[in-house]
Structure 1
């Protein structure tokens, strides 16, 4: 993405329409800071742009807050890492690192995504980071650590369900790293979020070959988990929405 294309992509976002806490989120800082970072050609200008973005544009470093604007900005920051001045790329990488770190602590912020209307902000950020996996892996220790952190925010896209005893087997694709053992999860269907208490990975993806995987979900009926549906770790958003335990 050339600088001109990047600037056009920044302008295409209605930063003022994105939600954020009053007194902390400043949409003008998001737009101005990203433009400045995209065109920065040295350490000082990159640092100034980073200060705008960390001081109300994408997050608020003094309070440890991250805003939904950070999710919209994530692919733009990755483009700066790829095509920008080295100092701007380093600043962008630091902003992505901070955004995910702050998002992990912010269990009440949700964002609309193409795959879920109320995804936990940390999981939405992690998806963007996985989308830039080859770029981040090439950035050395910092990029690889960021990918490792993102992997913990797994996402499972359910495509087919089959009744299996008192539970169901769910077939689909897995992104990220599903932990060992039984896990609690959130099931997202349309505008509804449901708590799942027992989810177990049956068959993991074949590394480097396919993301296809399967889960077992206990204590539910197959008609209660009708694809398309998306599962996220329950720990990423335990209080954000009223949910019905199945």
Structure 2
């Protein structure tokens, strides 16, 4: 009898997923021990990368979706989802159409499922520790050109990722009882006053009143935010703002 830790024959791919998968120590990626099964992840990703039909893709999706990167029955997402996101996007771009659909479905679940309270955040390449969904959204946005082209599933995934916005501060000036911060918006900041997290210098500060002051509203474009109650020195260049509470936390 075989289990999720048993390794199938090595599946070579033209786009490096196998090597990148095997380079990760998935058992070192934390998660709740009652549902998270890191032994499923490497075999699931290798199987999905090598899939050439719906049956193989479904088997891989079951390995990854039933305790690997998410737990579909409980609607829970694990930090491994953020680590696996670039690999799933590679599979979606280069793999069989059935593998593409399975990969995009898993990414959508990673954006919308609720994290375990003790394992809700992951580190980004920029050094912030953000919620899993925001980290996954960043990877999704990095493949926007590809995802906008394959069809409805990719476009829907981009739309879901847009709700997990990020604002990169480039310059700040005093503005009445607050600060006008100029910078680049990734994703879509909703209209009206929003709560946000300010990440700067390794610390996280809760902000209660953030609005688009002179919005272009365009993903990836220059925008201006007005932040009530903060002075310009508290919003230095390089600071980043993220949603205070993502949609997944409200379910």
TM-score, with length taken from structure 2: 0.87
Instruction: Select 2:245's aligned residue among 204, 213, 235.
Output: 235
Report the equivalent of 1:106. 115
* Distance (whole Å) between structure 2 residues aligned to residue 66 and residue 72 of structure 1: 12
Once the two structures are superposed, the pairs formed by residues 17-96 of structure 1 within 5 Å of their partners are 17-96=28-107
8 Å CA contact retained: 2:32, 2:116 = no
Once the two structures are superposed, the pairs formed by residues 1-246 of structure 1 within 5 Å of their partners are 2-3=13-14, 5-102=16-113, 105-106=114-115, 108=117, 109-205=120-216, 207=218, 211-236=221-246
SS of the equivalent of 1:153 reads coil
How far off is 1:117 after superposition? 2.5
How far off is 1:207 after superposition? 4.4
SS of the equivalent of 1:203 reads coil
* Distance (whole Å) between structure 2 residues aligned to residue 86 and residue 229 of structure 1: 39
How far off is 1:237 after superposition? 9.2
How far off is 1:154 after superposition? 0.7
SS of the equivalent of 1:145 reads helix
8 Å CA contact retained: 1:185, 1:199 = yes
8 Å CA contact retained: 1:174, 1:205 = no
SS of the equivalent of 2:18 reads helix
SS of the equivalent of 2:245 reads helix
- Bigger CA drift: 115-124 or 66-75? 115-124
Report the equivalent of 1:242. none
- Bigger CA drift: 69-78 or 2-11? 2-11
Structure 2: gaps of 5 or more residues: 1-12
* Distance (whole Å) between structure 1 residues aligned to residue 248 and residue 71 of structure 2: 22
How far off is 1:12 after superposition? 1.7
* Distance (whole Å) between structure 1 residues aligned to residue 101 and residue 245 of structure 2: 30
Distance of aligned partners of 1:178 and 1:107 in 2 relative to their CA distance in 1, 3 Å threshold = farther
8 Å CA contact retained: 2:77, 2:116 = no
4+ aligned runs moved over 6 Å, structure 1: none
SS of the equivalent of 1:185 reads strand
8 Å CA contact retained: 2:21, 2:46 = yes
8 Å CA contact retained: 1:107, 1:120 = no
* Distance (whole Å) between structure 1 residues aligned to residue 136 and residue 110 of structure 2: 8
8 Å CA contact retained: 1:116, 1:189 = no
* Distance (whole Å) between structure 1 residues aligned to residue 213 and residue 182 of structure 2: 10
How far off is 1:189 after superposition? 1.3
**Pairs aligned (count):** 236
Structure 1: gaps of 5 or more residues: 240-246
* Distance (whole Å) between structure 2 residues aligned to residue 132 and residue 153 of structure 1: 15
1:164-185, CA deviations, whole angstroms, 9 ceiling, x for partnerless residues? 2221111111000111111111
* Distance (whole Å) between structure 2 residues aligned to residue 157 and residue 34 of structure 1: 32
8 Å CA contact retained: 1:120, 1:237 = no
